Amino acid sequence: MSKQKDTSAVNAALDEVKKIWKLRSDRQLAYLLDLEKQNVAAWRVKGEVPAARAIQIEVLTDKEVTWQMLCPRLYAQTLELMNK
């Protein structure tokens, strides 16, 4: 049985970014971040935003969407390291 990753939290966070910025599409989001639309689509499929982009989004949304929301795997790894 293969473990499927849950991408819903990251997708919800990206949707929240679009809502905050009053955007209608991932294409508009990509444009504002100076990216190709395919990058945002890949984040949605992967369920993870690259850390540098996640921090950029956190700053640009005034911490309404945090890097922890956009990088759940990295956040879990960070917590694990802190609890050792």
Secondary element (H or E) of residue 83 = none
Going by pLDDT thresholds of 50, 70 and 90, the confidence category of residue 43 is: very high
- Looking from the CA of 5 toward its CB, the CA atoms found within 13 Å total 13
Q: What percent of the chain has pLDDT over 90?
A: 89
Distance CA 46, CA 68 (A): 15
Distance CA 76, CA 70 (A): 12
State the angle between helix axes of 8-20 and 37-46 in degrees (0 to 180), rounded to the nearest 10: 140
Q: Could you give the domains of the chain?
A: 8-82 (1.10.260.40)
Residue pair 50/70 in contact by the 8 Å Cβ criterion:
no
Q: Is the pTM of this model over 0.85?
A: yes
Chain mean position to CA 45: 11
Report the pLDDT value the prediction gives residue 1, as an integer from 0 to 100: 38
Judged against a pLDDT cut of 70, whether residue 65 lies above it is answered with: yes
